[in-house]
Structure 1
């Protein structure tokens, strides 16, 4: 069964040294989404940086996909309607 690694980068690289054995790429995508959702729910990943990403690789360290998260804060009050 293939092993997938879910690395986090929020300005500081947190490598996944263990990885997970999953059946296929679709299972790895589902796991990445679940894990990222848990990170967003359990703590504020935007405390250090306004953006972070999860980079998913295989056991040969090949990049498979990246999930990117970004929070933009306006400098002052902005009406949402004016952003459309």
Structure 2
């Protein structure tokens, strides 16, 4: 089974030296989303206070970059109204 490495930069670079054996790329994508959710949950309030996005680079056993996840939280600095964009309506 191939090995996938999940390297994280959340303000501190955390390399994944060991990696995880997974069936295929689809399984690595599922694991990346699961691990990202777990990290956000474990971070508690510090995730919300973080000013820059967290990044997860997923590589194979040969250190080839397969995909990158980027996730973060944005809190408006004042009153904000959310207006969803319609596919038929151009952005203003």
Instruction: Classify the TM-score, shorter chain.
Output: 0.7 to 0.9
Alignment counterpart, residue 63 of structure 1, candidates 52, 62, 65: 65
Unpaired segments ≥5 residues, structure 1 = none
Deviation at 1:49, TM superposition (A): 3.5
Partner secondary structure for residue 80 of structure 1: coil
Q: Which moved more, 1:44-53 or 1:24-33?
A: 44-53
Report Cα offsets for 1:22-48 as digits up to 9, x if no partner. Answer: 111111111111111111222236244
Residues 13-71 of structure 1, C-alpha deviations (whole Å, 9 max, x = no match): 11001100111111111111111111122223624433101110011110000111022
What are the residue-to-residue correspondences of 1:7-26 with 2, within 5 Å? 7-26=7-26
Runs of 4+ in 1 over 3 A off after TM superposition: 47-50
* CA RMSD of superposed structures (Å): 1.8
3-state SS, counterpart of residue 39 of structure 1: helix
TM-score calculated relative to the size of structure 1 = 0.83
Give the aligned length. Answer: 83
